[in-house]
Each structure stands twice: as C-alpha cells, then as structure tokens.
Amino acid sequence: MPRLLMVAHDHLSPGGAVSARFEERGYEITELLVVPEDRFDDPAVEVTFPDPREYDALLVLGAKWSVYGDEVAGWVKPELEMIRTADDAGVPVFGICFGGQLLAQAHGGSVEPSRAPEIGLHAVQGEPAVDGLWFEWHFDGFTPPPDATVIGRNAAAPQAFVLRRNLGLQFHPEVDADGLKGWLGAGGREGAQALGLDSDVLVEHVRATDPATRARAAALVDHFLDVIAVR
C-alpha cells in the first residue's frame, strides 16, 4: 500500500476531498498536525518533520498564517528543507495554498502579500485539470520558481504550477461548505467582510457547488498521480 504524508498546519485545514481521493486510490495516510488546536493563537511551536523519503507522496495543506510570518519561522524553515529533500528524492509533493506557497519558496520562487486577495469561488484558466471554478481564500500569493510551468492563472495571481513531480496550487480544491464555516468561525468572517462578502451567502454558494467540486478535486488528484507524479 503506498504511503502519503499529509501535513496539516492547523486543526481547521483537513484534507477534505483531496485526501479522500488519495484514500480511494489506495494510499495509507499519515497525518502530521503542525500546530495543535490549543496553540492556534500561538503557533510558534517546535516541530520535527519526518523523512519524506519514507513516503510515496506528500500532501501539504493550507494554513491561517503567512509563509514569511515571524510567528511560524521556526517550523517553516525545516518544512522547506523537507520539501527540498522530497524533490531531490523524486517524492511527489501536492501543495495547496500555504502548501503551494511553500513549494514555490522552496524551489526559488517567492511569496508576498497579494495585490488582489481572493475569497470565494473564482475562475481559473489553464490546463483542463485546473481550468474552471475553484474556492479561494488567500491574502498572499506566490511567484512560481523560475523553472516551473504555470498551468493555471487568473487576473489576480498565478494559480497552479508544475515543477518536476510537484504540483503547487493557490486555490483550495479540498474545501467544502462545512470546512468554510469552520474558517469563518475562527476569525475568517472579518476577512470576508473586509472584501465586501456576506459570510452566510458565501457558505450557501459553496454548498451548492460541493458535489461538483468533490468530483473535480478527485480528477485533479488523478491528474497529479497519473501524470505529474510519474514524470
């Protein structure tokens, strides 16, 4: 049975439809929770990351914080090293939002505050695997590594890139309406309001698209495993 290391940076960011598809594809999932729930407001924790060469793939999820934030610098640095080690060993990495930003920074790209933050469902243009409507929640954006291939973008930011066996995403294929409610209840409501969004309407909009999003998330995982991870 192939093994997947799923790095969840906080208790509000589960793997959702993405990790579910890995399970359907036969993967045994080991979850590493970086910041425990009782440290959510004080994320400067000490973390020992495992050797990625012990796994067949990595799934690196989103987070509340910024990759460049001082409060997470103590564990971002070793996580970047883990991602580089995985790449050197040919272990595929699937990075989502914060995870995609880590992938970019680990391989020569950068992360900075976005000039056009996105919350809600937004269109992405690109290769069939990423083209379409996806949920977004980000106030930062990545500049992909110089040797990466951008496979999805919109007017706000690059949205997806491929680098060797790595896939970095800015959008959230894993998020459903229930997950969104968790984010809103943990301080996200203010961020949504700052962009002029009604949180209740946002949840119902996402709930209406949940079935289609789950199907497209599964297809995206298939593309990662069947095309990108075997390069």
Q: How confident is the model at residue 162, as a pLDDT?
A: 98
**Rounded distance, CA 126 to CA 1, Å?**
33
| pLDDT single digits (tens) 117-133 | 999 999 999 999 999 99
Instruction: Name the one residue in this structure whose structure tokens are 């992938």.
Output: 103
Q: How confident is the model at residue 101, as a pLDDT?
A: 98
pLDDT band at 216 (very low <50, low <70, confident <90, very high): very high
Q: What is the mean pLDDT of the chain?
A: 97
pLDDT band at 64 (very low <50, low <70, confident <90, very high): very high
Residue 82 token pair: 């883990």
Contact (Cβ atoms closer than 8 angstroms) between residue 67 and residue 105: yes
- Burial bucket for residue 128 (CB in 10 Å: 0-12, 13-18, 19+): exposed
What CATH architecture applies to the domain 3-228?
3-Layer(aba) Sandwich (3.40)
97 has catalytic annotation? yes
Average pLDDT over residues 58-64: 97
Domain boundaries, the chain: 3-228
| pLDDT single digits (tens) 181-215 | 999 999 999 999 999 999 999 999 999 999 999 99
| pLDDT single digits (tens) 10-28 | 999 999 999 999 999 999 9
172 has catalytic annotation? yes
**Rounded distance, CA 11 to CA 175, Å?**
13
Contact (Cβ atoms closer than 8 angstroms) between residue 208 and residue 202: no
Beta bridge partners of 30: 5
Q: How confident is the model at residue 202, as a pLDDT?
A: 96
Catalytic residue among 97, 118, 122, 138: 97
174 has catalytic annotation? yes
Q: Locate all alpha helices (DSSP H) within 28-144, ordered by sequence.
A: 73-89, 98-106
Catalytic residue among 9, 107, 174, 223: 174
**Rounded distance, CA 122 to CA 104, Å?**
21
Residue 50 token pair: 């495992």
Q: Name the amino acid, one letter, at 75.
A: W
List of residues 6+ apart from 144 with CB closer than 8 A: 104, 109, 150, 158, 161, 163, 168
Q: How confident is the model at residue 69, as a pLDDT?
A: 97
pLDDT band at 110 (very low <50, low <70, confident <90, very high): very high
Q: How confident is the model at residue 85, as a pLDDT?
A: 98
Average pLDDT over residues 129-145: 97
Instruction: Look at residues 199, 205, 121, 210 and name the one whose alpha carbon lies nearest to residue 159.
Output: 121
pLDDT band at 41 (very low <50, low <70, confident <90, very high): very high
Q: How is the beta sheet containing 110-126 ordered, strand by strand?
A: 28-33, 3-8, 57-60, 93-96, 166-169, 158-163, 149-153, 110-126, 132-143
Q: How far apart are the two ends of the chain, measured CA to CA in Å?
A: 21
Catalytic residue among 107, 138, 172, 223: 172
